[in-house]
Amino acid sequence: MKHNIQPLRWGILGCGNVTEVKSGPAYRQTPGFVVQAVMRRDAAKAADYAARHQVPVWYSDADALINDPQVDAVYIATPPDSHLSYALKVAAAGKICCVEKPMALNTQQCAEMNAAFAAAGVPLFVAYYRRSLPRFLQIKQWLDTGRIGTVRHVQWNFSRSANPLDLTGAANWRTDPAQAGGGYFVDLASHGLDLLMYLLGDITQVQGQALNQQGLYAAEDAVTAQWRFAPDAVGHVATGSGFWHFGTDGRRDAVEIIGSKGHIHFSVFQDELLQLTENGVTEELFIENPPHIQQYHVANIAAQIRGEAPHPSSGDSAIRTTAVMEQILAGRV
C-alpha cells in the first residue's frame, strides 16, 4: 500500500541506547520523515532525549504517543516483552509500524501482530537491518550470480566473553527470558540467522542444543544447531551449522559459505573485509557500514511507503526467524 503523507511523522516508543546512534538519527535524516514525538516511562529521560535530538514532543505514557494525531507512524524500540501489546495498539490506531528485533517473545505473538496489521491494512516492518546493508547486499549479489557455484554448506561461529554486568549479578533484561524471549542468543543470533535466510532462503529443518554453562543468569549461554535450507530453484539443498557462546576467552564472529567452486568469509557484526574465493583465486572487499547502522533499513521503509519497492524485512519474514530460534532452543538441556 502506498502512503502519501508528507512528511511522515514518526513517534518512538522507548528512546533508549539503540535510538541514540543506531536508529533515531536515521529516522530524522531520511527524506520525507520527521521524528515528531518520543516516549520513555522515565519522564526526565524522555525530556532529555527530546531536547538533545530536537524532537518537538515527549511523553512518559505509550498510549498518549500512539494516539497522538500528529504521529503517523510508530517505531517500537522497547524490550521484546512489550512488542505485542504496543504493536496491537499501533495497528488498532491504523498507523505504520516498525518494531525492533526480535519481533516478539514467540511465534504466536508474531502471528497475532501480523494478523492485526493485515486487518488494519498498514505495513509492519521489523528492524533486521542487515538485510539492507550494502556489505551484505554484495554477498547476496555474489551468491545470486553463482560466484561460488552451488552452495553446499554455511557455518557461523560466534562467541564472546561474559558481560561484566552479568558477572556482578545485576539485573539485565537481555538475559531474562520473560523479557527477552531467551538470552544473548535471541538478542544477537537473531541478526545472523535472519541474514542467512535472506541470503540463502528459508531454513526448513533445524535441530539445536542449548544449555547454561556459567550459571550467571536464567537464559541459555551456549547453543549449537544444524539445519537445512529450502531447496533452490533447481532442487539443490544446502545445509548449515552454528555455535554461539557467551562466556569464552574473547570475541569470534566468522561465517563461511561453502560452494561447489568457491567460498565466502565474512563477519555478521564486525566491520571487516569480505573475502570471496572463486576457483582458487581470492579477492577482498571492504564496504563500510554507515554511521547510523539502520540508515539503509529506514530508507527502504520510505521506499516502500512511496510505493517504489517492498522492504526486505517484514513481519512475515521476521516470524520465520523467531520460529527457527524457537526450534533451536527447544533442545535446551
User: Which of these, 111, 119, 112, lies nearest to 92 by C-alpha position?
Assistant: 119
pLDDT at 130: 99
**Grid coordinates 539443498 are at which residue?**
237
Query: Mean per-residue pLDDT for 288-313?
Result: 98
Task: For 239-249, write each residue's pLDDT tens digit.
Answer: 999 999 999 99
Q: What is the mean pLDDT of residues 49-58?
A: 98
What contacts 294, CB < 8 A, 6 or more positions away?
A: 22, 23, 26, 127, 129
- The answer to whether the pTM exceeds 0.75 is yes
Mean pLDDT of 141-164: 98
10 Å CB burial of residue 302 (0-12, 13-18, 19+) is middle
Q: Which residue has the cell 539492507?
A: 132
pLDDT at 249: 96
Sign of the dihedral defined by the CA atoms of residues 80, 86, 91, 95, in that order: negative
All structural domains of the chain = 8-128 (3.40.50.720), 134-288 (3.30.360.10)
- Region 295-308 average pLDDT: 98
Cell of 144: 545470486
Averaged confidence pLDDT in the chain: 97
Percent of the chain with pLDDT over 70: 98
Asked if residue 21 has pLDDT above 60, the reply is: yes
4: pLDDT strictly greater than 80: no
